[in-house]
Structure 1
């Protein structure tokens, strides 16, 4: 995982989302997921591009099952953007960086 991406678990998810002043983009993924591997470089690029403006995080759904279940994450990759602790955008499946950039810019 890139150094500017925060790893989330069931234990630290709520506190991280609630306490963060910046918008938070969370990538729900798993090691066995092909599209998750495809979108990873896009997410890493966004983390570098928006460093200091957006907190980019990843949550492995195999290691932390409670959080995705509570949010209704049924397919991966799912990316959810939170602002002020609330979900504001959700996208499912592979998306190009340009599309994800547009999604983020609406909330900066």
Structure 2
């Protein structure tokens, strides 16, 4: 399940108050690469057997929150463990490469 971040309270609940891995997507509904990456992003939960929670921020809807993450393009995927950033994936990736990059960050 993808948790949509709409407020500071959502952000606190998903990052500050929780342990474990989180993959945050910064994207937009009009963004073609975001649309193409959507199935791979959704499949992360199944691929990693529920070890990774998924969150999404629409950069147009909550711009002030999205700006805090300083995306250098969209989609930007930011991988966290226990609230600490482990790495970023910026732009389109083929599904297998996307999963491979995530697996490396989990080690």
User: What is the TM-score with the length of structure 2 in the denominator?
Assistant: 0.87
Q: How many Å apart are 1:46 and its aligned residue?
A: 1.2
- Residue 7 (1) aligns with residue 13 (2): no
Which whole-Å CA distance do the structure 2 matches of 1:79 and 1:90 have between them? 6
Are the equivalent residues in 1 in contact too, given 2:45–2:51 (CA < 8 A)?
Answer: no
Which whole-Å CA distance do the structure 2 matches of 1:100 and 1:38 have between them? 12
- Residue 28 (1) aligns with residue 26 (2): yes
Q: How many Å apart are 1:15 and its aligned residue?
A: 2.9
Query: Gapped runs of 5+ residues in structure 2?
Result: none
SS of corresponding position for 2:86? strand
Query: Gapped runs of 5+ residues in structure 1?
Result: none
Count the aligned residue pairs. 105
Instruction: Identify the match of residue 62 of structure 1 among 60, 68, 84.
Output: 60
User: What is the TM-score with the length of structure 1 in the denominator?
Assistant: 0.86
CA offsets, 1:78-104, max 9 Å, x none?
Answer: 000011101111011011221221222
Runs (4+) of structure 1 exceeding 6 A deviation are none
Q: What's the RMSD between the two structures over aligned residues?
A: 1.5
Q: Where does residue 101 of structure 1 map in the other structure? A: 99
Which whole-Å CA distance do the structure 1 matches of 2:63 and 2:39 have between them? 24
Are the equivalent residues in 1 in contact too, given 2:58–2:66 (CA < 8 A)?
Answer: no
Greater CA deviation, 35-44 or 57-66? 57-66
